[in-house]
């Protein structure tokens, strides 16, 4: 009975440990912060269907904010409001007329609605200046999505350039690509805002209401994607390689993971931010990069990368006492892709490579083909063991005989009288002079041959 209880306890503990290993904690969701940059300039008193632009915007914004009450109570979503053109009348023009009316926080929707209702349009349109000030509206945060929704009925009226400011803030990673909602604007103004952010043209009240819903949905909702690492047949079967996703604009790391096929043999599903344009680096050897990947909100996005891989198997010999490294380069180039040890197998993108095997002497193999879904095996002859006895310390080198003469292999130690080398099979020459001999004529040379697996003693008297 006691034995059975111990066995059950052991099984329970082992299962709990396995569960803890296979079910890691989920990454914390980032805090989404939305800053409304609202147009309170004099032109917002213009007529627009059922009333003035400011009246329609106040009413529909209020309805949208009411719908967000339940979401904001979850604690992972904050709002703030900046208004421009509402403090000082024109003329004269005051391009500093912009103010953070409601800072970020939870439970501030009622306050935002109250400020919106009290806006009295009177001033100019400093959009660039407002965006620049908005950078300081977001308190420091390690895991936040900072989003600006610009609502305006006109273009920049001051000397600033909203496009340059927006791109600078995105590149610095302060904000994601903004949304811009144009209220009853001339279509010719559309081009002025497409460089600022994702532009929506609200030509009428109903469109403005729908656009508000779409923008809020895109700002709050992530979407799904899968990364298809394609083999030589265009099938998504390649896997088990690290992948890093970067923000295309700021080049900050947004996600890093090891590619996985799920239990169905399909690429595992990722949850990605649709407001980010991604650059992807698949860390095969060599790496494969795909830039400017767009994620479509509400749509499962397939991201493809051609990564057909084959294996290079470097066979080690049991008689080799020391490890041997091999430098892998693209064929005909000096770029070092990888240094692989003999006795290991490594995957490479299918193609042609040059190998430099760091034996004594070095072995160069040019034009080695690594085919997709296949294994290329490279083996080298067993070395011979050479013991070199000089009787005194001195200066010298070992050379190997080639068709066009002797090639340097290695220098001798200046402080040792007995040295051991593992040399590849071949014909060799050693040149030596004692450090105590002051004339060239005291130099000595000796030829010797090395066979695989042999042991040779070379004496220089």
Asked whether 436 and 417 are in contact (CB, 8 A), the reply is no
pLDDT score for 18 = 44
Question: Residue 340 is inside which H or E element, if any?
Answer: strand 338-341
pLDDT score for 289 = 98
Of 170, 197, 160, 168, nearest in space to 182 by CA: 197
Of 335, 313, 395, 400, nearest in space to 362 by CA: 400
The Cα diameter of the chain in Å comes to 110
Please tell me the distance from the alpha carbon of residue 37 to that of residue 276, in angstroms, as a whole number: 20
pLDDT score for 10 = 43
Please tell me the distance from the alpha carbon of residue 145 to that of residue 34, in angstroms, as a whole number: 8
The two tokens of residue 227 are: 């990364």
Strand 444-450 relative to strand 426-434, pairing: antiparallel
Q: What is the pTM of this model?
A: 0.85
All structural domains of the chain? 31-220 (3.40.50.410), 222-306 (2.60.40.1120), 309-379 (2.60.40), 384-459 (2.60.40.1120)
pLDDT tens for the chain, residues 1 to 461? 444 444 444 444 444 454 445 555 667 788 999 999 999 999 999 998 888 999 999 999 999 999 888 776 666 889 999 999 999 999 999 999 999 999 998 889 999 999 999 999 999 999 999 999 999 999 999 899 999 999 999 999 998 999 999 999 999 999 999 999 999 887 777 888 989 999 999 989 999 999 999 999 999 888 999 999 999 999 999 999 999 999 999 999 999 999 999 999 999 999 999 999 999 999 999 999 999 999 998 899 999 999 999 999 999 876 666 689 999 999 999 999 999 999 999 999 999 999 999 999 999 999 999 999 999 999 999 999 999 999 999 999 999 999 999 999 999 999 999 999 999 999 999 999 999 998 999 999 999 999 998 999 999 97
Task: Quickly count: other Cβ atoms within 10 Å of residue 263's Cβ.
Answer: 6
Question: Residue 327 is inside which H or E element, if any?
Answer: strand 325-330
pLDDT score for 74 = 64
Please tell me the distance from the alpha carbon of residue 461 to that of residue 447, in angstroms, as a whole number: 13
Cβ neighbours for 238, distance < 8 A, ≥ 6 positions apart? 229, 230, 231, 259, 307, 308, 309
Of 196, 175, 170, nearest in space to 249 by CA: 170
Please tell me the distance from the alpha carbon of residue 172 to that of residue 250, in angstroms, as a whole number: 6
pLDDT score for 404 = 92
């Amino acid at each position: 009975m006691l034995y059975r209880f111990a066995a059950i306890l052991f099984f329970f503990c082992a299962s709990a440990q396995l569960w803890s290993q296979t079910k890691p904690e989920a990454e914390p969701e980032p805090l989404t912060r939305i800053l409304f940059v609202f147009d309170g300039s004099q032109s917002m008193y213009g007529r627009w269907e059922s009333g003035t632009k400011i009246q329609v915007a106040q009413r529909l914004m209020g309805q949208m904010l009411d719908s967000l009450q339940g979401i904001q109570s979850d604690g992972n979503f904050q709002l703030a409001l900046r208004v421009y053109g509402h403090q000082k009348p024109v003329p004269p023009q005051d391009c500093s007329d912009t103010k953070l009316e409601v800072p970020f926080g939870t439970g501030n929707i009622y306050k935002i609605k109250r400020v919106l209702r009290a806006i009295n349009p009177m001033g100019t349109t400093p959009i660039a200046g407002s965006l620049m000030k908005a950078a300081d509206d977001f308190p420091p945060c390690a895991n936040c999505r900072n989003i600006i929704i610009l609502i305006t009925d006109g273009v920049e009226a001051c000397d600033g350039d909203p496009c340059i400011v927006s791109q600078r803030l995105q590149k610095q990673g302060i904000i994601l690509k903004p949304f811009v909602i144009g209220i009853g604007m001339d279509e010719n103004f559309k081009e002025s805002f497409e460089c600022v952010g994702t532009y929506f043209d609200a030509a009428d009240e109903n469109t403005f209401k729908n656009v508000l819903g779409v923008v809020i949905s895109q700002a709050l909702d992530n979407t799904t994607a899968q990364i298809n690492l394609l083999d030589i047949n265009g099938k998504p079967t390649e896997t088990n390689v690290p992948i890093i996703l970067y923000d295309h604009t700021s080049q900050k790391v947004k996600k890093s993971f090891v590619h996985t096929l799920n239990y169905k043999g399909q690429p595992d599903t990722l949850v990605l931010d649709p407001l980010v344009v991604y650059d992807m680096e698949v860390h095969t050897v060599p790496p494969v990069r795909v830039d400017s990947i767009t994620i479509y909100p509400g749509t499962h996005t397939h991201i493809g990368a051609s990564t057909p891989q084959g294996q290079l198997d470097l066979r080690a010999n049991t008689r080799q006492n020391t490890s041997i490294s091999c430098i892998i380069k693209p064929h005909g180039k000096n770029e070092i892709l990888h240094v692989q040890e003999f006795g290991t197998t490594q995957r490479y993108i299918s193609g042609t490579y040059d190998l430099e095997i760091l034996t004594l002497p070095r072995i160069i193999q040019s034009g080695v083909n690594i085919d997709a879904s296949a294994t290329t095996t490279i083996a080298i002859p067993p070395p011979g063991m050479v013991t070199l006895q000089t009787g005194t310390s001195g200066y010298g080198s070992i050379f190997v005989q080639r068709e066009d003469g002797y090639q340097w292999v290695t220098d001798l130690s200046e402080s040792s009288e007995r040295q051991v080398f593992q040399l590849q099979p071949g014909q060799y020459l050693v040149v030596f002079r004692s450090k105590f001999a002051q004339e060239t004529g005291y130099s000595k040379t000796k030829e010797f041959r090395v066979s695989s697996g042999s042991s040779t003693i070379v004496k220089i008297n």
